[in-house]
Amino acid sequence: MTYVVFFVLVVVIVFLGVFAYKIEHVHQKERDMWKQERKELYDRIQAPSFAEYKQGEVKMVKA
């Protein structure tokens, strides 16, 4: 009986660890997407004109 309880406890702990790892991985992807969106918006705001912003964007795509 003691071994069964111990085994169940270990399984629950491992499951929670894997779950926390997966959730962190998903959150990291979201943070990376948000960071990229903020960078693009900041670049657009800092450009003197929309034409200059688009020209820089085209150069980045071609590179």
Specify the number of domains making up the chain.
1
The Cα 15–Cα 3 span in angstroms is 18
What tokens appear for 24 in the block? Answer: 């962190």
Task: Let me know if residue 29 belongs to a domain.
Answer: yes
Please, what's the b/e burial string for 32-57 (b: 16 or more CB within 10 A of its CB; e: otherwise)?
Answer: eeeeeeeeeeeeeeeeeeeeebeeee
**Angle made by CA atoms 21, 29, 53, in degrees to the nearest 5:** 165
Asked whether residue 5 is assigned to any structural domain, the reply reads no
Within a domain: 31: yes
Q: Tell me: the pLDDT tens digits for 1-50?
A: 899 999 999 999 999 999 999 999 999 999 999 999 999 888 888 877 77
- Specify if 8 maps to a domain: no
| pTM, rounded to two decimals | 0.59
Domain extent at residue 40: 18-62
CB 53 within 8 A of CB 63: no
